[in-house]
Structure 1
Amino acid sequence: MALATPPDLSDSAVPVQPLARTYPRGLYIEPHQHEWGQLLYAVSGVMWVDTPNEALAVPPQRAVWLPPGVPHGIRVVSDLQMRNLYLPQATASTLDSTVQVLEVGRLLRELIITLVEQTDEQPAYSEALLSLTLLELQRARRTVMKVPMPDTPDRRLLNLCQSVMANPTLDIAFEQHAENAGASVRTLARLFQGELGMGFAQWRRQVQLATSAAELIQGVSVSQIARSMGYSPSSFSDMFRRELGVSPSLYGQGQASGAVL
């Protein structure tokens, strides 16, 4: 486990603090929070961002906006090339007051990367870049691929949820997850209903959908995703279409072309 070291956030007069980091697959950044707002964006790789009541699957065509003071942790699914922007409270107040997953188009992507890479030698240029970036963040399409997470001191439920997020395959039964978590099936079933308002199968299906969507955006084939989750390609496609109203292949094609699905 590790905690990311942010840039110096003591000077609120600074309009933006950029950060470039590389994180290896499997790294877990423990929950923490900042007085500044934070835009999390990875130019490559996939991550789960954990917030108090939900987890967000984030591929490269998505970014996460975290308002000031929101606790968050990061689970690195594949090697990440991270580009972050920290915004002081006055600037952060121009964006959403709640956690958002944003679609990152070509212009926004280049703006984020340029803000991180540029120097302080041309302050007027930097100010213009930031202003345009904020406008693009305000108009970026919001997405809803979120997975509810338990807010409970009972580590057994949280450990089970984290285990499923790391490997959401059908090949691992609820009974096996319960045994690994050190609790009975009945106890965990009751915790799922009480904390998350749904059963284990429905919750795991949401994890599978979020994971699948992230992988489809990355260009992973439908058959490969299906096999990794314990489905046949046809049964996986049926599940995906039933839940999201579109086939996984069309979803991947639409996201790649920027179409709204």
Structure 2
Amino acid sequence: MSKHCPNATNWLPPSDAAFILDPNQPVLSHGRSLAAERSIEPHAHPRGQLLWAHQGTLKVTSDTRVWVVPPSHAVWIPSGIRHQVHCETQVQIRNIYIDPSYPIQHSSSGVCMLSMSALMRELILRLTQAQVPLAPERLKRLGWVIIDELNALESAELSLPAGHDPRLIHVIQQCVRYPTTKVSLTQLASDSGASVRTLERLFKSETGLTFRQWRQRFRLLNSLERLQQGESSTEVAYSLGYQSVSRFIEAFRQQFGETPQGYARQQRQLSPHSNGVSLLCR
């Protein structure tokens, strides 16, 4: 097995709550901590899911897109959409699952990233961290409030295309699992069973980006939480492979419309109780 391939023992099953259909339980919840390099196996479920990490950053992949999700945001996954979740570092996941009998307006857009509100954070924490199980009627009332707040959350459209070809999907999955790796496209091509030329063609035709552009944008997304946690632009720039700090700052500015440190300060002010960052992209 290639050292860049995921270890099958790191795959975990999804929560059973995602498969319970009961209109009398509009919202079910599930929380768990995942160690670094763990993944939730590819799956789909009948309940819609709001996937949120109270601490840490998640990588979410569907059949067509890739999201990097810090604690200031969550991902809405409508029922029946296949997806998988990976965490590079330890994370605390707090999920809610909505019975399909309750319509969610974001579902018309498919999987999407949403900006978490302070109210939604507290509601989810109340459900997932209650010391004593809530009474059914109270749980139902809180569920209605959660659904109402979920429909009011603002979308923050930020993702990267994932493509359809199995060889391209394999390469992108390796990039998602190992975002700081220096492995070359030649090595990734060897692992995927495709030539470098074939992969370059697939990246361009299926994502609209070259491999270099795709990986640069993905690494920029991964830099956000590190900047928020206090790492300097210099530390982040060289860890991402930039030859100079000025090149990193310019690439960051083009992607997010702000310098790295200016962006981190702005997001700390917007989310004083979160160790994550807000994602804004044009």
Normalised TM-score (structure 2): 0.82
| Higher RCO (C-alpha under 8 Å, 6+ residues apart) | 2
Q: Distance in 2 between matches of 1:71 and 1:169?
A: 26
Q: Which residue in the other structure is 2:20 paired with?
A: 9
- Counterpart CA distance in 2 for 1:236 and 1:225 is 9
The one-letter code sitting in structure 2 at the alignment partner of 1:141 is E
- Alignment-derived partner of residue 235 in structure 1: 247
Matches within 5 A, 1:133-144: 133-144=146-157
CA RMSD of aligned residues (A): 2.3
Question: In structure 2, what residue type is equivalent to 1:140?
Answer: L
Query: 8 Å contact 1:21–1:82 — kept in the other structure?
Result: yes
Match of 1:252 in 2: 264
Output the CA distance in 2 between the equivalents of 1:69 and 1:144: 21
> 1:207 is matched by which residue type in structure 2?
F
Question: AA paired with 2:233?
Answer: V
Q: Judging changes above 3 Å, is the alpha-carbon distance between structure 1 residues 94 and 190 closer, same or farther for their aligned structure 2 residues? A: closer
**Structure 2: distance between partners of 1:121 and 1:96:** 28
Given that 2:26 and 2:144 are in contact with CA atoms closer than 8 Å, whether structure 1 keeps it comes out as no
Change in CA separation of 1:2 and 1:250 when aligned onto 2, cut-off 3 Å: same
Q: Are the counterparts in 1 of residues 46 and 100 from structure 2 also a CA contact under 8 Å?
A: yes
Contact 1:57 / 1:214 at 8 angstroms: preserved in 2? no
Q: Give the Cα–Cα distance (whole angstroms) in 1 for the partners of residues 245 and 46 of structure 2.
A: 45
In the alignment, the residues of structure 2 paired with residue 78 and residue 159 of structure 1 have an alpha-carbon distance, to the nearest angstrom, of: 21
Write the distance in 1 (CA, Å) between the matches of 2:70 and 2:15: 22
CA contact (8 A) 1:64 1:102 kept: yes
Measure how far apart 1:42 and its partner are. Answer: 1.1
Separation in 1, partners of 2:173, 2:229:
22
Which has the higher mean CA deviation after the structures are superposed, 156-165 or 43-52?
A: 156-165
Corresponding position of 2:140 = 127
1:122/1:246 CA distance change after superposition, 3 Å: same
CA separation of 1:28 and 1:67: change in aligned 2, threshold 3 A: same
Question: Residue in 1 aligned with 2:37?
Answer: 26
| Equivalent position of 2:106 in the other structure | 96
Which of 49, 57, 69 matches 1:58?
69
Question: Is the 2:37–2:177 Cα contact (8 Å) retained in structure 1?
Answer: no
Work out the CA distance in 2 between the residues paired with 1:31 and 1:140. 26
Pick the aligned partner of 1:107 from 119, 137, 140: 119
Q: More deviation in 75-84 or 162-171?
A: 162-171
- Corresponding position of 2:57: 46
SS of 1:138's equivalent in the other structure is helix
Q: Which amino acid aligns with 1:201?
A: R
| Residue 150 of structure 1, CA deviation | 1.5
Greater mean deviation of Cα atoms: 236-245 or 176-185: 176-185
Q: What is the total number of aligned residue pairs between the two structures?
A: 258
